[in-house]
């Protein structure tokens, strides 16, 4: 939930206060760049997408009515900028970044045995390669769901898609990624929850 201070910064920025907007950028630039990096797959494209997202935010800030979270709106701009860049430069098959240390569920590396650490590294490389094989749309929803731990409704809000479409893309993306890993002799360590499977049943 937005704080009173952030609301005040947004209001000031909407009135043309560049310093207020720069403060908003400082508060969100790490998350924006992280999302762009995971979708684009390399630092150069991620930096460009993040810059485009913040430019779009500055240009469109006067239309932001604070009916949703500022971060949700900013995520939508970032995701759209990253996907547009991928499509524009035809980089659908670039390797996506899924660095374990950026994952909310990343295990404590100090507790891993050398063998476990090697297997984890190999699995991470396979997942990066597998995500690179997905379409931009499927990679996009998987990154938001698995890496950013967003709910279906949050992803729907960010991407301006209906929830059914979000569930369908996530389901298909998981299936394609699972097939890739099985084909390469590996598999997901974490299976979808029963609730996830229930929610995804009957998706088109």
What confidence tens digit (pLDDT) does each residue in 72-88 have? Answer: 899 889 988 988 887 77
pLDDT of 90 > 70? The answer is no
Residues 19-63 pLDDT 10s: 999 999 999 999 999 888 888 878 898 899 999 999 999 999 988
For residues 41 and 99, what is the distance between their CA atoms, to the nearest angstrom?
11
**CB-based contact 147:38 (threshold 8 Å):** yes
For residues 125 and 23, what is the distance between their CA atoms, to the nearest angstrom?
36
For residues 24 and 54, what is the distance between their CA atoms, to the nearest angstrom?
10
CA geometry: angle at 136 spanning 130 and 140, to 5°? 85
For residues 178 and 79, what is the distance between their CA atoms, to the nearest angstrom?
24
The rounded Cα 64 to chain-centroid distance in angstroms is: 21
Domains annotated for the chain, with CATH where assigned, are: 4-89 (1.10.1740.10), 108-198 (1.10.10.10)
Residues in the chain: 204
């Amino acid at each position: 939930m937005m704080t009173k201070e952030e609301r005040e910064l947004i209001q000031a920025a909407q009135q043309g206060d560049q310093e207020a907007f720069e403060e908003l950028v400082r508060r969100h630039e790490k998350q924006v760049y992280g999302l762009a990096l995971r979708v684009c797959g390399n630092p150069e494209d991620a930096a460009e997408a993040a810059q485009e997202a913040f430019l779009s935010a500055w240009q469109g800030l006067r239309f932001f009515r604070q009916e949703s979270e500022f971060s949700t709106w900013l995520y939508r701009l970032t995701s759209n900028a990253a996907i547009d860049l991928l499509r524009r430069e035809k980089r659908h098959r670039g390797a996506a970044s899924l660095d374990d240390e950026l994952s909310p569920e990343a295990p404590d590396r100090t507790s891993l045995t050398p063998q476990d650490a090697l297997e984890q590294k190999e699995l991470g490389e396979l997942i990066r390669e597998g995500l690179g094989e997905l379409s931009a749309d499927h990679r996009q929803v998987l990154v938001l769901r698995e890496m950013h731990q967003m709910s279906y409704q949050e992803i729907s809000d960010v991407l301006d898609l209906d929830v059914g479409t979000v569930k369908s893309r996530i389901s298909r993306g998981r299936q394609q990624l699972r097939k890739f890993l099985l084909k390469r002799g590996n598999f997901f360590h974490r299976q979808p929850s029963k609730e996830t499977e229930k929610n995804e049943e009957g998706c088109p």
